[in-house]
Chains A and B, each alone.
Chain A
Amino acid sequence: MPELRVEALTHVYSAGTPFEKTAIENISLTIPQGQMVGVLGHTGSGKSTFIQHLNALLRPSSGAVYYDGKDVNATKHSRREVKAQVGLVFQYPEYQLFEETVFRDIAFGPKNQGLDGSALEARVREAAAFVGVDETLFERSPLELSGGQKRRVAIAGVIAMRPGVLVLDEPTAGLDPAGCRQILDNIQSYREKTGSTVILVSHNMDDAARMCERLIVFDHGHIAMDGTPEEVFARPEEMSAISLSVPHAAALAMALRRKGVPLPGAIYTHEQLLDALLRIEGVGAC
């Protein structure tokens, strides 16, 4: 099974100028294939720099990134190859749409991989289906679509390369709740159907709690916490110390516990909270 391995990764911006800034320092971790990972951290904590190393967009100042056992920065060829293996969806990806039609925009990535004809068409249809872009939109200009549709087209453009690892930077930023839900569901089902690794950078603790099996918390270019949502959200003081919060459900559960409501630990989604509340004797009866 291919895995993503990061070893002692450090990145310094504008080295040697007055603007020199160490964005991430000595990051090491391994992400096995198929894992759903949430990357948390406040603005400027180094998350964006980190994910841009995963597909060799940025070259490490020191350290290395391996995918499937190979150093992604080894050669020019590997740097190109990894871009299709590790698909990176930037924040507000709809601003990168440029083609005349939705179909051609989604096809841009796989076309660069060397596909054409019916294979290319199949890829585009498959990717569009994953994110719920209807085929009737294929001949429209991407600039005419609504915000949510544009975003889904942009995500389809990356999925169409069939990456083994899908990295999404704030995929729900600026969308209405229904749009958020839809995109997250699309991502979830994409992962279930293809077995890809998904790395989700998010500010939304509720989304992270609901979707991810592992959370990596960045702070000032270091990894502050790395564990399951239970482990991470069981340390609310540490989270608030680095200007992050815990999910609403976890905060509510804690407040209830303080008031004397006997709730078990490890509550961080709305469903778990509801479930736990219903189990309390006397509540279920009424």
Chain B
Amino acid sequence: MLKDVTLGQYFPGDTVVHRLDPRTKIVLLVVYIVALFQASGWWSYALLLAATAAVMLLGHIRAKNIFKGLKPMLFIIVFTALLNMFYTPGRPVVEGWIITWEGIERSVQMILRIVLLIAGTFLLTYTTSPIALTDGLERLMSPLKRIGVPVHEMTLMMSMALRFIPTLIEETDKIMSAQRSRGADFETGNLIRRAKALLPILVPLFVSAFRRADELAVAMESRCYHGGEGRTRMKQMKLQSIDAFAFALGVLFLAAIIVMRRFHL
């Protein structure tokens, strides 16, 4: 059950999308998001949808996995869509109704926008290992080091957080199984009862999280870790020709969307 959490999950593979440099993918995601918010007409959305589908195909990511990750967002998506449907002025669908044609159009586009936004982000995390992702981020943000931003520390924290998500999920699963074996019931009862039922999970989870943090700190110190100063990498990142090609495609894509915006397509 908890294993179904897809947040930040990585599906290993050896496709073109997997092989792209993480920096390329991060920049392209930013380009994609900008394009998403520039889209104004159905043709631009069609282009965005086609691009997303193409990357999914290239990266062998099944639509099922994207939709599974969308599930927790369902409430927000439906809520936004409903609000847009009711609060957009225009021609009413039926005389006297509050729902307008413009509202329906807006809410469908809104749904598309949110879904594509999430799908794009998933495509990045599904095809890029957490380590590659944080390394890429660190390199991209390294100019900020000059003005005193602790980039290395920030990305280290991020990679640790990402690294420990699965561990903590596993741990939670284990503790839940153990308490369930002792007759604990997490599924029935009212809100207060259920909140109380979480206590037998949270206490051991926190105890073990602190223990783990302690152990990790000791392990890092005993291997002489002392921050990012002068650190070299085992895996050097190198931009290749496919990265250049992907960049070119991305720029072309953004240009197309901006041009389409001019013509309200």
Contacts and interface: CB of A to CB of B under 8 A. Distances in A.
Contacts of A90: 174, 177-178, 181
A57 B186 CA distance: 13
Contact of A96 (B11, B12, B204): B204
Contacts of A98: 179, 199-201, 203-204
Interface string B185-211: 100000000000001110110011000
Contacts of B64: 16
A32 to B, nearest CB: 23
B3 A158 contact: no
B12 A108 contact: no
A80 B179 contact: no
Contacts of A158: 181-182
A80 B183 contact: yes
Interface residues of B, number: 24
Contacts of B199: 98
A87 B203 CA distance: 22
A75 B184 CA distance: 17
Contacts of B178: 88, 90, 93, 96
Contact of A161 (B11, B183, B207): B183
A112 B189 CA distance: 13
A97 B179 CA distance: 9
Interface residues of A, number: 27
B180 interface: yes
A160 to B, nearest CB: 9
B58 to A, nearest CB: 16
B162 to A, nearest CB: 17
A84 B180 CA distance: 10
Given A18-B12, A108-B200, A96 B183 contact: no
A269 B62 CA distance: 55
Contacts of A143: 207
A40 B211 CA distance: 30
B3 A18 contact: no
A11 interface: no
Contact of B184 (A13, A18, A93, A108): A108
Contacts of B184: 108, 112
B175 interface: yes
A191 interface: no
B199 to A, nearest CB: 7
B183 A83 contact: yes
A141 to B, nearest CB: 11
Contacts of A95: 174-175, 204, 207-208
A52 interface: yes
Contacts of B179: 96, 98, 108
A120 to B, nearest CB: 13
Contacts of A60: none
Interface of B: 3, 11-13, 64-65, 174-175, 177-185, 199-201, 203-204, 207-208
